[in-house]
Amino acid sequence: MRAHTHILRLLSLAVITAFQPCIAADAEMHTFRDTQGRTVEAEILSFNERRDMVNVRRSDGRRLSAPLSAFCEKDREYIRTWARDESFRSQMDFRIEVEKKETGKQTGKEEGLIIEAEEYRYEVLLENRSGHDFRNLRVDYMLFYKQEEAASHADAKMLDVSGSIEVPVLEAGGEKTVTTGPVVLKSLELMPGYVWENNAPASSTGKLKGYWVRVYRKSADGDEIFREVCNPSAIAERNTFRVDRETAK
């Protein structure tokens, strides 16, 4: 029917039909254009991809529905991107897991000292359970550790390593694992019969304290949105997320 090709007529006259939405969430007000070039201010409430029906709320608060084909091509892509945004935000559709890996170990000796260096990296698994491809993702990370200083009475300092990894595409139903840069923990121990002049502890060590990972993508409105995982959660409460993108891989 001709009415189904004109979004303004649909948004002015149509009564919402009952259906079960596949994706639903609040969105920003957007100026939609129909295939005849006419416009209306509304926000997307849900998009039923199986039926290709869009549920919207006009600026006057009225809720209405229209088929995807009623919108101009640019707004069809906007609606599809909005649907990808909602899948990205969903813990069911987009999953992030982080796992620590020991990737190297060296032991050596100097006069009076036993020195050990352990290298760790984190593997970040991105799993896309949705029906959408996710493109141009960016994984930013901060890795936290404490390192005691040799020949010192001072408490260990909290330090961090940060970086950024680009993921050009994560296909629908697929997964990808990316690996962070290294954290190197150093342990020093005095050999028997040796002491520090200031009577500092005979050994000093390093210890991993946690991670903070964010995954970014561009939303339908052009803004960056992100998902994050942080372990332990106290790291996010005590620190500011910042990343040195010069170390991007």
Structure confidence by residue, pLDDT tens digits, 22-57: 344 445 899 999 998 989 999 999 998 888 999 999
Sequence spans of domains, the chain: 2-89, 94-247
Average pLDDT, the chain: 88
Residue type at 171? Answer: E
115 pLDDT band, cuts 50/70/90, is: very high
Paired tokens of 180: 């962070």
Structure confidence by residue, pLDDT tens digits, 60-74: 999 989 999 999 999
- Percent of the chain with pLDDT strictly greater than 90: 76
> What is the reported pLDDT for 247?
53
Question: Does pLDDT of 6 surpass 60?
Answer: no
Is residue 7 within 8 Å of residue 66, measured between CB atoms?
yes
Is residue 78 within 8 Å of residue 47, measured between CB atoms?
no
pTM: 0.81
Is residue 213 within 8 Å of residue 141, measured between CB atoms?
yes
- The CATH architecture to which 2-89 belongs is Roll (2.30)
Question: What would the mean pLDDT of 80-109 be, rounded to a whole number?
Answer: 95
> What is the reported pLDDT for 28?
80
Structure confidence by residue, pLDDT tens digits, 185-208: 999 999 999 999 999 999 999 999
Question: Does pLDDT of 129 surpass 50?
Answer: yes
